[in-house]
A and B are shown apart, each in its own frame.
Chain A
Amino acid sequence: MTASMTARATTTVTARLLAAARLTATASMLALGLAAGFGGVGAAQAGEIRIGSVLSATGPAAFLGDPEEKTLKLYAEEINKAGGINGDTIKLVIYDDGGDADKARTFATRLVEEDKVAAVLGGTTSGTTMAMVPVFEDAEMPFISFAGAVGIVEPTKKWVFKTPHTDRMACEKIFEDLKKQNLTKVGIISGTDGFGKSMRDQCVKVNAKYDVEIVAEETYGPRDSDMTAQLTNLKGAPGIQALVNPGMGQGPAIVTRNVRQLGIALPLYQSHGVASKSFIELAGDAAEGVRLPAAAILVAEKLPDSDPQKAIALGYKTSYEAATKGQVSTFGGHAFDALFILKGALERAKSSDAAKIRDEIEKTTGFIGTAGIFNMTPADHMGLDLTAFKMLEVRSGDWTLVE
């Protein structure tokens, strides 16, 4: 080996070493340097109360997460204008999990460890909620979810609450209505997304209680654009008297249109997963006669003046529609209920102590929200009963109360 070759070899090795060192430095900087930049929003300041939220503002559940986020922002601002909670201004820390359970969990850790929030609202879907639950249980963080599945509050978890009606209640309400009309043989067509799947599972658990028989079942994917094949099969199912469609998003609107396209004259029941006016717009004339269990907020104007929910529902609807130029949905309503349940708890607790806040959330009684009247107990971390659901029917392009 000549001297020059050795020298060159040395240079190459040195260069490689240097390159590797620089790369390591770059990589570590990515991990560390950036880390400094994406930490929490700093220590809590006096006169400020931090409320965290992880929502699916993008991704397949965006049409749920979007009104939830808008509602939280709108009312945090309003509460602050009116003097805050116990004199403290609300500071919202909202993260978007894109519907991904793992991201939700990371953001949950971040809210606990970095942002040091007092309580967490949200979890748009049951999947993201369930992924976050262990984090909040471990950290002893009060958490109110906006997701539907009954598994979130059954069995009861010490730190976990939720505001929407459960999917089981939706099934029960529908079957109750079917029973009243002596319709006992139904076909179910459900979405394979978390909402549709979970509600379908609840429906096939409680149907016997109402003497309803499920004679045929079909499913469709959350992004499917044509369900005529499935409906053709349901149409031919022997003895079928009604259709139930657990699902959310655009699916139920397409199902509704396809039912009409195929000339199926059976009564069609949708769920609380379609509870906004946009369903009627999307389904058009086909929506006529469709029934669904939903919160009173959809028929705020039509409630009798004696209804205790009327003022709240109408107030939320008016503010939301004025601020967002969009149409009110029950989804945003769940965020509204959760925020005000938490506000009440914070005011009663007069402390940022997590255990006290949790206890006060659990003591929520007679709280009138958009979804119904909440009466929480140590055994019931949702606090709504079946009366909170109204059976609605679409008539002349608008919701009407059936009862």
Chain B
Amino acid sequence: MALKLSPAVLILIATVLIVVLPGLVLPSPYYYRVGALVFISALAVIGLNLLMGYAGQVSLGHAGFFAIGAYGTAILPAQLGWPPLLAAATGVVLAAALAFAIGRPILRLRGQHLAVATLGIGMLITMVLNAEVAITGGPDGMAVARATVFGFKLRAPETWYWISGGLLILGVVAALNLLNSPTGRALRALHDSEVAAEVLGIDVTRYKLVVFVAASVYAAVAGAALALFSGHVTPDVGSFLRSVEFVTMAVIGGLGSILGSIVGAAVLVILPQVLTVFQEYETLVLGVMIILFMIFLRGGIVPGLAARLTARLTP
């Protein structure tokens, strides 16, 4: 008799393995740092993937919320003397509040219009971070106070590998729960056709808002983790290019695939480290690889490979 494992459980098991297995064997703090960066990016990308892959709403301003999480964590301890972890939580709440406030008018827009509006929001956020030097340190950024738990300073890459890995697993659990709830079903209906969903009596705007806020929370948590991990933030964390990078991660890994978010993040974080061997050809090679991925695994790496595997395995 086959095990009754739902896809959700499989995804969770896979995530745990992705975090734990390398965690046991990585050779040096540098690898743990890269690993932690993969998990932090993956967390932000899962949020974006909920929005894009399940609700079908494009955002080119995701990094803006990432930046709010990061800068909330940086500014509140520096300016008001708050403990870093409380600051991080506040940063996340702020991001969610902003998403809630702007979500309603913005989410009435569709497709490219929504893309431009979110792009604008992201740019507004980074402009403020760049301009308000007295508070944010301006373009050169600012130092972030280290978080302390029970007198233990969280700074080693190994520590952060496990913290961000843990956050990622929590993020996956939360995403799976969301998708299995009535909200998740409504989202899928929404993705297929907004009009049809509306006809079925689904409160489209409300669900879009829920997922938009959820996505911003994912981004802000990831941003806060990055700030605490790195100890220094610059406005780059919220830049347009960072938003585009998140979108690229989501699409390369596979829209609508949670594992895809992780794989997409892994590819785009690890590739530049590998491509350093190409030296001045690095950007060129990265571009070529993105093109090849998208041509040959159109639906993204995870759904693409899964489809091929299933096709081969099922008669």
When A and B assemble into the complex, do they touch directly, with CB atoms less than 8 Å apart?
Answer: yes
Please state if A37 and B274 are interface contacts (CB–CB under 8 Å). Answer: yes
Rounded to whole Å, the gap between the CB of A230 and the closest CB of chain B is: 15
Please state if B28 and A102 are interface contacts (CB–CB under 8 Å). Answer: no
A105 to B17, CA, bound (A): 27
Please state if A19 and B283 are interface contacts (CB–CB under 8 Å). Answer: no
- Does chain A have a CB within 8 A of B157? yes
Please state if A126 and B140 are interface contacts (CB–CB under 8 Å). Answer: yes
Please state if B37 and A106 are interface contacts (CB–CB under 8 Å). Answer: yes
A303 to B310, CA, bound (A): 75
With a CB–CB cut-off of 8 A, which chain A residues contact B232?
101, 105, 130-131, 133-134
Supposing A16-B7, A37-B274 touch, asked if A127 and B234 sit within 8 A by C-beta, the answer is yes
Interchain CB contact (< 8 A) of A27 among B37, B130, B231, B266: B266
A113 to B34, CA, bound (A): 12
Please state if A20 and B11 are interface contacts (CB–CB under 8 Å). Answer: yes
Query: Which residues, 35 to 82 on B, are CB-close (under 8 Å) to A?
Result: 35, 37-38
With a CB–CB cut-off of 8 A, which chain B residues contact A134?
143, 231-232
Please state if B10 and A102 are interface contacts (CB–CB under 8 Å). Answer: no
Dominant secondary structure at the B interface: helix
With a CB–CB cut-off of 8 A, which chain B residues contact A133?
232
Rounded to whole Å, the gap between the CB of B64 and the closest CB of chain A is: 16
A32 to B130, CA, bound (A): 37
With a CB–CB cut-off of 8 A, which chain A residues contact B169?
none
With a CB–CB cut-off of 8 A, which chain A residues contact B21?
28, 32
Please state if A19 and B313 are interface contacts (CB–CB under 8 Å). Answer: yes
Please state if A13 and B5 are interface contacts (CB–CB under 8 Å). Answer: yes
Interchain CB contact (< 8 A) of A38 among B276, B279, B309: B276
Most buried by B among A58, A110, A149: A110
- Does chain B have a CB within 8 A of A340? no
Indicate the size class of the contact surface on chain B.
35 or more
With a CB–CB cut-off of 8 A, which chain B residues contact A130?
140-141, 143, 232
- Does chain B have a CB within 8 A of A265? no
- Does chain B have a CB within 8 A of A241? no
Query: Which residues, 176 to 219 on B, are CB-close (under 8 Å) to A?
Result: none
Query: Which residues, 115 to 166 on B, are CB-close (under 8 Å) to A?
Result: 130-131, 133, 138-141, 143, 155, 157
With a CB–CB cut-off of 8 A, which chain A residues contact B270?
30-31, 34-35, 38
Query: Which residues, 22 to 41 on A, are CB-close (under 8 Å) to B?
Result: 22-24, 26-28, 30-32, 34-35, 37-39
- Does chain B have a CB within 8 A of A197? yes
Interchain CB contact (< 8 A) of B273 among A99, A106, A127, A151: A106
Please state if B22 and A31 are interface contacts (CB–CB under 8 Å). Answer: yes
Closest to A112 in B: B30
Dominant secondary structure at the A interface: helix
Please state if B33 and A102 are interface contacts (CB–CB under 8 Å). Answer: no
Rounded to whole Å, the gap between the CB of B264 and the closest CB of chain A is: 10
Of A4-12, A169-177, A288-296, the stretch lying at the interface with chain B is: A4-12
Supposing A126-B140, A130-B140, A130-B141 touch, asked if A35 and B313 sit within 8 A by C-beta, the answer is no
With a CB–CB cut-off of 8 A, which chain B residues contact A138?
155
Interchain CB contact (< 8 A) of A15 among B3, B28, B34, B310: B310
With a CB–CB cut-off of 8 A, which chain A residues contact B234?
101-102, 127, 131
A11 to B33, CA, bound (A): 40
- Does chain A have a CB within 8 A of B25? yes
With a CB–CB cut-off of 8 A, which chain B residues contact A28?
17-18, 21-22
Closest to B307 in A: A19
Supposing A16-B7, A103-B272 touch, asked if A23 and B14 sit within 8 A by C-beta, the answer is yes
- Does chain B have a CB within 8 A of A114? yes
Contact with B along A84-111 (1 / 0, CB 8 A): 0000000000011001111101100110
With a CB–CB cut-off of 8 A, which chain B residues contact A267?
none
Rounded to whole Å, the gap between the CB of A115 and the closest CB of chain B is: 9
Please state if A31 and B30 are interface contacts (CB–CB under 8 Å). Answer: no
Rounded to whole Å, the gap between the CB of A275 and the closest CB of chain B is: 20
Contact with A along B258-293 (1 / 0, CB 8 A): 010011001100101110110110110000000000
Rounded to whole Å, the gap between the CB of A31 and the closest CB of chain B is: 5
Interchain CB contact (< 8 A) of B141 among A26, A38, A114, A131: A131
- Does chain B have a CB within 8 A of A233? no
Other A-B pairs beyond A16-B310, A19-B310, 18, CB < 8 Å: A9-B2, A13-B4, A18-B309, A19-B305, A20-B13, A24-B14, A31-B266, A35-B34, A58-B282, A101-B232, A102-B236, A105-B232, A106-B30, A109-B29, A109-B33, A109-B157, A112-B30, A131-B232
- Of all A-B residue pairs in the complex, the 5 with the closest CB atoms, nearest first, are A194-B139, A113-B30, A10-B2, A101-B234, A15-B313
What are 10 sample pairs from A and B whose C-beta atoms fall under 8 A apart?
A12-B314, A16-B5, A16-B7, A34-B274, A35-B26, A102-B236, A109-B30, A133-B232, A197-B139, A197-B140
